[in-house]
Amino acid sequence: MPSPQGAAPPDSTDLTRLRRAAADCTGCALYRSANRTVFGEGPRRAEVFVAGEQPGDQEDKQGKPFVGPAGRLLDDALAEAGFDREALYVTNAVKHFKFTERGKRRIHEKPSRTEVVACRPWLVAELRAVRPRLVLLLGATAAQSVYGTAFRITNQRGRPLDPSEEFAGLFDVAVATVHPSAVLRAPDRETARAEFVADLEAARENLGTTG
β-bridge pairing 89-92 and 173-177: unpaired
Q: What is the CA radius of gyration of the chain?
A: 16
pTM score = 0.94
Q: Which of 173, 202, 201, 205 is nearest to 77 (CA)?
A: 201
Q: What is the DSSP string of 51-98?
A: EES---HHHHHHT-SS-SHHHHHHHHHHHHTT--GGGSEEEESS-S--
pLDDT along the chain (211 residues), means of 10: 72 97 96 96 96 96 95 97 96 97 92 96 98 97 96 95 94 97 97 98 81 52
Query: What local confidence, expressed as pLDDT, does residue 1 receive?
Result: 37
The Cα 42–Cα 197 span in angstroms is 21
Residue 60 CA to residue 44 CA, distance in Å, equals 23
